[in-house]
């Protein structure tokens, strides 16, 4: 092929690839909202005008976790050193609710101080690109991943690991990473045991994945609550929403509800309150 024709062909190919590539996620005005959801392919931050959250005062039975996360986030928002946080434990115990409530509390104290950016588990490989965009924004941001965990064949954790600690770029000073998980080490125990049993060096076989949780400086454990705390949670909701029911009837109905669900947690309490409000003809 003559040189001139080859140049034209390569130019056409380059232009076609340029048209197929996603537009850069730049130029976004992050003052439009205090919360965003990160999407990859194409990269973009979608504003969330109204975050689905619970008032922090209604989160009962997790006072210690609440104060630790609130203190860590306040320091970060003020520009002081703070840790990435892993909130782990039983389902429905208020992990993600606490992250969103803390964000609202900080911005309630000083409006516009803090961004909350949610990244989905499947978009973790695009995390470095998201961080570059947030770094350029200049705003302090909590990057939040709910229900984070990894399976045996999943290499996405490597992207997160490099960002949390040890990467060349590392985590920007204006971004902190909070994650919730049902697993303390972000991978199932039977997977850890399986890798140990089939490896020549069992310790090294799982060290890389298990050490991911060590990149979180703040670990907060969440567990199912006892009956007294469960009653305190539903009483808080009843008082907050002004639901007309006696304490005796409330306790009896809440106890029956928890028995039929087989557990007591903040999620079970909220589901009961939704049912109660509906039966009473009240809006929440």
Contact 78, 113 (CB under 8 A): no
Stated pTM of the model: 0.80
Contact 103, 116 (CB under 8 A): yes
Partnered with residue 143 across adjacent β-strands are 117, 177
Contact 245, 280 (CB under 8 A): yes
Sign of the alpha-carbon dihedral angle for 189, 195, 198, 200: negative
**Tens-digit pLDDT profile for residues 204-254:** 545 555 667 778 889 999 988 899 999 999 999 999 999 999 999 999 999
Q: Closest by alpha carbon to 272, among 131, 263, 214?
A: 263
Contact 61, 232 (CB under 8 A): yes
Question: Rounded CA gap, 10 and 73, in Å?
Answer: 51
Contact 237, 58 (CB under 8 A): yes
Question: Rounded CA gap, 275 and 129, in Å?
Answer: 43
Residue spans of the chain under pLDDT 70? 1-28, 152-157, 165-170, 185, 187-211
């Amino acid at each position: 092929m003559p040189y001139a024709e080859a140049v034209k062909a390569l130019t056409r190919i380059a232009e076609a690839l340029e048209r197929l590539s996603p537009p850069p996620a730049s130029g976004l005005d992050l003052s439009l909202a205090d919360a965003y959801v990160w999407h990859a392919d194409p990269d973009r931050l979608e504003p969330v005008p109204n975050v689905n959250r619970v008032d922090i005062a209604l989160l009962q039975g997790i006072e210690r976790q609440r104060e630790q996360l609130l203190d860590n986030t306040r320091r970060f928002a003020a520009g002081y050193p703070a840790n990435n946080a892993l909130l782990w434990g039983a389902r429905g115990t208020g992990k993600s609710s606490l992250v969103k409530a803390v964000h609202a509390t900080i911005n309630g104290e000083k409006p516009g101080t803090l961004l909350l950016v949610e990244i989905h588990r499947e978009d973790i490989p695009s995390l470095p690109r998201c961080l570059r965009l947030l770094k350029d924004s200049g705003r302090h941001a909590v990057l939040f991943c709910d229900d984070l965990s990894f399976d045996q064949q999943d290499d996405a954790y490597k992207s997160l690991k490099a960002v949390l600690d040890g990467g060349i770029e590392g985590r920007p000073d204006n971004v902190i990473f909070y994650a919730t998980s049902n697993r303390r080490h972000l991978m199932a125990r039977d997977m850890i045991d399986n890798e140990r049993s089939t490896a020549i060096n069992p310790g090294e076989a799982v060290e890389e994945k298990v050490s991911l949780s060590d990149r979180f400086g703040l670990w907060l454990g969440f567990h199912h609550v006892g009956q007294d705390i469960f009653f305190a949670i539903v009483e808080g909701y009843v008082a907050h929403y002004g639901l007309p029911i006696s304490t005796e009837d409330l306790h009896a109905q809440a106890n029956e509800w928890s028995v039929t669900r087989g557990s007591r947690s903040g999620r079970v309490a909220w589901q009961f309150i939704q049912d109660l409000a509906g039966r009473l003809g009240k809006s929440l």
